Amino acid sequence: MSIPRYHVDSNILLRFLTGEPPGMFAAASAFIERAERGEVVLELSPLVLAETAFTLESFYQRPRREVARTLLTLVDRLGVRLAERDLLLAALERVQSTGIHLVDAYLAASAAETKFPVASFDRDFDKLPNVQRFEPRP
């Protein structure tokens, strides 16, 4: 018998991480606890992770580094499978250490892995180790 797998949406993660509203928090918590017990597997996509980070920062006004710490803890839970896990863990660690946006941290982690420069006007990339920035010119 195979373990049921679910693609998890950001609204489940947000209810779990914020505790709001209480009824949905209880349901989300029970669901995530089922994953930790090995009863289900939660498939977490990079886009859902990014949406969760954005919502925690913008709507809930949580500090970016705190959000990165929270999400690192979440993806380390048993029963949570994160697509592109190593790349996203590296990105979350960059957010935690530098405070840059998750999408920029993801690009930086990808650039460090592939050795391709990042085409961007954003000079924040110049501050990151193992990342070369290319700025297009007319």
Q: What are the structural domains, with CATH classification, of the chain?
A: 5-83 (3.40.50.1010)
pTM score of the predicted model: 0.90
Task: Check whether 109 has a pLDDT greater than 80.
Answer: yes
Please give the Cα distance from 109 to 32 (Å, whole number): 28
**pLDDT tens by residue, 9-60:** 999 999 999 999 999 999 999 999 999 999 999 999 999 999 999 999 999 9
* DSSP 8-state symbol, 82: E
* CA 138 to the chain's CA centroid: 35
Q: Please provide the average confidence, as pLDDT, over all residues in the chain.
A: 95
Band the pLDDT of 69: cuts 50, 70, 90.
very high
Task: Check whether 1 has a pLDDT greater than 80.
Answer: no
Tokens 């961007």 map to which residue?
A: 120
